[in-house]
Structure 1
C-alpha cells in the first residue's frame, strides 16, 4: 500500500506544480488503485506466467501475436467503429477453433449466429432524426420471444416461486406495453394531438422503476439476469426510435449463450459441474474453498469481457446521435441529452 501512497503523492505534487485542471487529477490518479489491485494478486499472476512459460516457443509466440492483435483491435475500434464488426466476426469462430462445436453444437451455433447478428450493428449508420417505429416494435417482440424461450428451457432445471413467476410475467407484459407506446406516441404526434397523458405516465413510471424492480425478483442467477434484462429493455424501448432498439436483445442473448458455452468449456476441462451454474444463488455466501487458480483460458475470458463492454457502449452508434431527441429545437437540451446517455448506458449495463 505504501507504493500506492507514494505514487499518489508523486503524481499529485507534479500536477500541483503544473497547475493542472481537476480532470487531470482524475485521469492520472485513476490507474493507481487499478495497479494496486493488480499488484495485490502478484503471486497469482506469477503462477500464471510460469504456466505460460512452460508452453512450447511456437505456442508462446502465437499467443503473444493473438493478444497483440486483440489489443490493437480494441484501440482501433475507438476510432473506427466498424472494427468491432471484425472483432465479432473473429470471435464467432471461437467454438469452431477450440473444439467446443463437437461437444455443444446447439450452443456453438447460437454463439456464431449471435456474434454475426451483433456484428451488423457497428456497420449501421448513425441513428438520425427520422424514426423507424416498426424496428422498436420488432425489438419488443424479439425481447418477449427470448424471455419466453428462456423460461421454457429453464422450467425443468430450477423451480420458480409463484411470486417470482408473476413478477416475470408482469415484466414481460410491461415490455409489450413499452413496445407499443412509441408507436402510439409517434402516431399522436403526427396527428398533432400532442403527447398522450397515459403514455407520459407509463414512460415516467418505467424510467423510475427500471432500476428497482429487478431487486424484487428471484436471487437465482438466470432469473435475476432475466429480470434485469426485461426491466432495462422496457426503458430502452421508450428511448429508441429505430434499429438501435434491436441491439439490447441481441446483445443479451449473446451474453446468455456466452455464460452457457463457457460452462461447457469448463466442463471439458473438468473444472465445474453444469448444475452449479443453474442453481447459483446471489443470496448464498461464496465458498472460498471452491475458488480455483487462474488458467490461460481466463485471459481469453477477460478479453471477451472487455470487448463486450466496448461493444455495448459503442456498438449501436447512437453515442453520436443524441440529436435524435432534437436538442437544437427544444429548451430542455440538457435534460434530453441526459436521457440519451441514460438509454445508451442501458445497453452497457446489459
Structure 2
C-alpha cells in the first residue's frame, strides 16, 4: 500500500515519528478481508476493502502533510518577525521619538546583543542539525534560518522595545486609542484589498464612500467656492463605475478615439490651473505660476498634439483591420514613434507638481490609447482625475496644518522648507498615504480587468504595433499596458511625499508592512484540494501579493526618473498668503 510505504520512509528519516493510528493494525484488517473472501462473503469483504482504501487515502494525506504544522508555524513566525522588524526600523529611522528612548547605555546594550546573537546562532545551528539528520529539504533550513535571524534582530532591540512601551503608557490614553484605531483601519483596508481579488465590485462602494466622506471633510475645512470638494466627489464617483463593467473589455473604437479628446481637455484644464490658480493658497504648493516659460507652453501643445495624433492612428489602424486590409508598415512606424517619443517628453517639463504630473499624464496617454480597445481608455482619464483629487486633498491638509499651527511651528516648517532640510519625521496620521496608495495601486489593475482577463486579452490591443504573431513581443506590450496605470499612481505617490515632506522610503516600508498583512491572509487561503482553477487562483494570489513588494520597488526606481526633480513652493509663501 502506498500510504504504508510513505510511512516507512517517514519513520526511517525522523528522529521522533508519530504513526497514523487508524492504520496501526492494518495487517489484521487484511487477514480479515482474506478470511471473508475464503468464506465467500464477498459483500462484507468488499465493504471492508473500501473502508481500508479510504483509510489508506487518509493516511497518504496525513504523511504528505506530516510537516504542515511545523512549516506553517515557521513561515508565519517569519512573516510576523519581518513585520515587527519593519515597524521597529520605521520607528527608529523615520520617526521623532523622544530622546529618552535612545538615551540608553550603549555599552551594556552591545554586550546584551552579543549574547543574544550567540544564543540565536546556537539555537539555529541545533535546529538545522536536526533537519540534517532527518534528511529535510534545503528549503526547511532556509525557512528556519531566516525566521531565526529576524527574531534575533527583534530580541536584540529589547531595550528599545521596553523604552517604547514605557513611552506609550506614559502618554495620555488618547494617544493609545489613536494608535489602536489607526491599526484597526489599516487591517480593515488590507482585508478589504484581499477580498477585492475575488470581487472587484467592492471598489465601487469604496470610491462612492470615499467621494462622499472626503468631500464632506473638505466642505468643513475650505471654502466651497474653490470647487475642490465637489471635484473630489465627482472624480471618485466617476472611477467607481469601471469596476461594474465586464472584465472582458468589448471592442469600441469610437470610445477610444473620444477618450483622446477627453485626455486633451483634462490636460488643458490642468495647464490653465497651473498658470492661473496660484493666487489661491490651496493651489500655491502644487503650482509654479511664477515660471511661465514659452518653451514649456510649446512642450504642452506638442504633447497634446501627440495625443490627438495617437487617437487618429487608432482610428486608421482599426479601419484597416475592419476592412481586412494589412496594416501598413508606415502606420506601424508612426505608432511606435509616437509611443516612444511621447514618454520622453515629460523629462523636459516644468518641475512643479501639477505641471510635471500633467506632462506625465499626457506623455503616457499615446501608448495607452494605441494599446486600448474599449473603455479602459476612459479609465485612464478617470484614474488621473482621482489621483489629482488625492493630491488636492493632501495639499489641503498640508495647508490646514500650517494654518492651524502655532507661530513657532509655522516658523519651523518655513525654515525647514526654505533652507532645504531633510524630510520631516513620519507621524501617525501619515499612515493614510501608504494606505491610499495601496487602494489606488490595486484599482489601477482591477479597474479594467481581473486575473482571468490577462490570459484572454484581445489580440487587437497589440495589432497597431505588430501584425506578425510574436508571443514574446505581444506579452511584453500587454505587460507594458498594465504598467502604465501603476506608473501614474506611483508618480502621484512620490509627488505627495514631496508635498508633505515625508520620507518616501519610510512610506514604502509601510506599504511593505501592509502588503505582508495581505500576504499572510493569502498564505492561509492557499488550497491543495478542489478544482484546478481554485487551487491555481489561491496560489497565484499568494504569489502576486508576495512579489508586489519587489514589483513596486522596481516601479519606484523607474518613475524616479520622472519625479526626482519635482519641487514644491515653500510653506512661507503659503503662510503669508493665508495671513
TM-score when normalising by structure 2: 0.48
**Is the 1:84–1:119 contact (alpha carbons within 8 Å) kept by the matching residues of 2?**
yes
Residue 324 (structure 1) aligns with: 458
**Is the 1:136–1:241 contact (alpha carbons within 8 Å) kept by the matching residues of 2?**
yes
Residue 201 (structure 1) aligns with: 333
Residue 149 (structure 1) aligns with: 269
Q: Mark the runs of 5 or more structure 1 residues left unpaired by the alignment.
A: 274-283
Work out which of the residue numbers 343, 356, 373 in structure 2 matches 1:211: 343
1:301-338 C-alpha deviation (Å, 9 max, x unpaired): 221112111111222116524521169x9731222121
Work out which of the residue numbers 468, 473, 485 in structure 2 matches 1:347: 485
Give the structure, 1 or 2, with the largest relative contact order (CA under 8 Å, sep 6 or more): 1
* Structure possessing the higher radius of gyration over alpha carbons: 2
1:143-201 C-alpha deviation (Å, 9 max, x unpaired): 11101111112223313311121111101000011112111111111112221334212
> Is residue 2:204 matched to residue 1:72?
no
**Is the 1:206–1:234 contact (alpha carbons within 8 Å) kept by the matching residues of 2?**
yes
Residue 298 (structure 2) aligns with: 166
Pair 1:57–1:155, CA change in 2 (3 A): closer
> Is residue 2:82 matched to residue 1:82?
no
Two-structure CA RMSD over aligned residues (Å): 3.9
Residue 229 (structure 1) aligns with: 361
Pair 1:303–1:164, CA change in 2 (3 A): same
Residue 280 (structure 1) aligns with: none
Residue 112 (structure 1) aligns with: 233
Deviation at 1:285, TM superposition (A): 10
Take 2:171 and 2:350, find their aligned partners in 1: how far apart are those partners? 40
Deviation at 1:113, TM superposition (A): 1.0
1:275-321 C-alpha deviation (Å, 9 max, x unpaired): xxxxxxxxx998225x3333332112221112111111222116524
1:196-230 C-alpha deviation (Å, 9 max, x unpaired): 33421221112323432211222232222111111
Residue 316 (structure 2) aligns with: 184
Residue 132 (structure 1) aligns with: 252
Q: Mark the runs of 5 or more structure 2 residues left unpaired by the alignment.
A: 1-88, 90-112, 279-288, 406-416, 489-579
Deviation at 1:17, TM superposition (A): 6.3
Take 1:212 and 1:60, find their aligned partners in 2: how far apart are those partners? 43
Take 2:486 and 2:306, find their aligned partners in 1: how far apart are those partners? 21
Pair 1:49–1:248, CA change in 2 (3 A): farther
- Paired residues, what number? 317
Take 2:363 and 2:328, find their aligned partners in 1: how far apart are those partners? 22
Deviation at 1:347, TM superposition (A): 1.1
1:194 aligned counterpart, secondary structure: coil
Deviation at 1:97, TM superposition (A): 5.1
TM-score when normalising by structure 1: 0.77
1:86 aligned counterpart, secondary structure: helix
Residue 299 (structure 1) aligns with: 431
1:62-104 C-alpha deviation (Å, 9 max, x unpaired): 5444333212111111222122222222222332453554515
